[in-house]
Amino acid sequence: MNFDLTPEQQLVRDTVRKFAESRIAPVAAELDREHRFPYELVAELAELGLMGMTVPEEYGGAGADTVSYAIAVEELTRIDSSVAITLAAHHSLGTLPIFYFGNEEQKREWLPQLASGKRLAAFGLTEPGAGSDAGASRTTATLRDGQWIVNGSKIFITNAGTDITACVTITARTGEGELSNLIVPNGTPGYEISPPMEKMGWHASDTRELSFRDCAVPEGNLLGPRGQGFGQFLEILDGGRISVAAMAVGLAQGAYDLAAAYAREREQFGRPVAKFQAVQFRLVDMATEIEAARNLVYKVAWVKDQGRPFGKEAAIAKLYSGEMSNRVVNWALQVHGGYGYMDEFAISRLYRDQKILEIGEGTNEVQRMVIARHLGL
């Protein structure tokens, strides 16, 4: 077993860390406060080749491995979750379904603009009445005169409404007991996008509700064989769980970094609080849990890169890292004391950003259901 990063993976870590610290950190609080989408930063991420990391170069991507991608997501989240989820949702949920399940014509049409980061993509699965029970989706698509007529709604969709969004891939019922995925271009008549939704965290991320009223989509926008949508989105979610698990590790690392730095500077009873054993032990527990979660994330990314089934590993990594990040960011805020409750301190933003990591891509409870199924229970 070799736990060392390759030179290429280490270069990704160094490059993304430097970018996050020099370009994102100075503006993260402002973006959060103003609920402003980070267009300039997304353009720079595109220039670095990060928006389509694992897509082959022939389609405009960087051709990187999944471990490198997880490292990039981790390093971005260490500084700011909104920027990280913009990249992760675009890559894992918006772009990869077209790469995995699209025909050659669809790949040539969509991937160059998406993998290069010039345009963004979204994935529409969750509905107001169908979250964890994704199979209960009620959005319909009826084939009529060479077009799919879509009716229904989606909610909590990331990246769907930005000025540079190209499309959303949605799951819809195309027949009795039949789910399929369709590519819906932005601007299609009958496709309406709500104003940005107000959220507890991820303030600089774009989150919308989508509605479809007799929205006509070309028959050729069906993604993969008709009726294969359920299996497709399960595979998509498995990959997305790697992204969210990497985000949890990154957020926890960022919270630890803030807590450790504060503990060294803050003095009580005549010495830095880092000299008190109670604080030291808390920081030690944080570092230990982060390391355990990071190894789970890198393992599932590696398993995926080997072309092996990774559903169980993805659920385990997502479950553990999500709950770990909750503990770590809570402890980190506690180390800050009253100052941690003030929005002028970054730990406040990380605390708000964390909770969705236990909900998105399948709640903690859903992860346990998935793991139980893999264990034959």
Which domains does the chain possess? Answer: 7-115 (1.10.540.10), 121-226 (2.40.110.10), 230-374 (1.20.140.10)
What average pLDDT does the segment 355-366 reach?
96
| Percentage of the chain exceeding pLDDT 90 | 97
| pLDDT tens digits, one per residue of 150-185 | 999 999 999 999 999 999 999 999 999 999 999 999
**pLDDT at residue 1, rounded to an integer:** 84
The torsion angles phi and psi of 102, rounded to 5 degrees, stand at -75, 155
Strand 178-185 to 222-223 pairing:
antiparallel
**pLDDT at residue 135, rounded to an integer:** 80
Average pLDDT, the chain: 97
What average pLDDT does the segment 133-140 reach?
88
Residue 130 has pLDDT above 90, yes or no: no
Distance CA 244, CA 86 (A): 12
Distance CA 119, CA 36 (A): 18
Residue 136 has pLDDT above 90, yes or no: no
**Catalytic site residue from 127, 209, 358, 361:** 361
Closest CA to 140 of 231, 192, 208, 217: 217
What band does 133 get if pLDDT is binned at 50, 70 and 90?
confident
pTM of the model: 0.97
- Token output for 310: 């990774």
What average pLDDT does the segment 186-198 reach?
98
**pLDDT at residue 134, rounded to an integer:** 79
What is each CA distance from 59 to 52, 56, 88, 188, 311, in whole angstroms? 9, 6, 18, 25, 26
| Percentage of the chain exceeding pLDDT 70 | 100
Q: Is residue 361 annotated as a catalytic residue, yes or no?
A: yes
Angle at 353 between CA 29 and CA 79, to 5 degrees: 50
3-state secondary structure labels for all residues of the chain = CCCCCCHHHHHHHHHHHHHHHHHHHHHHHHHHHHCCCCHHHHHHHHHCCCCCCCCCHHHCCCCCCHHHHHHHHHHHHHHCHHHHHHHHHHHHHHHHHHHHHCCHHHHHHHHHHHHCCCCEEEEECCECCECCCHHHCCCEEEEECCEEEEEEEEEEEECCCCCCEEEEEEEEEEECCEEEEEEEECCCCCEEECCCCCCCCCCCCCEEEEEEEEEEEEHHHEECCCCCHHHHHHHHHHHHHHHHHHHHHHHHHHHHHHHHHHHHHCEECCEEHHHCHHHHHHHHHHHHHHHHHHHHHHHHHHHHHCCCCCHHHHHHHHHHHHHHHHHHHHHHHHHHHHHHHCCCCHHHHHHHHHHHHHCCCCCHHHHHHHHHHHCCC
The torsion angles phi and psi of 340, rounded to 5 degrees, stand at -65, -20
| pLDDT tens digits, one per residue of 3-60 | 999 999 999 999 999 999 999 999 999 999 999 999 999 999 999 999 999 999 999 9
The count of other CB atoms within 10 Å of the CB of residue 180 is 23
**Chain position carrying tokens 């070309």:** 218
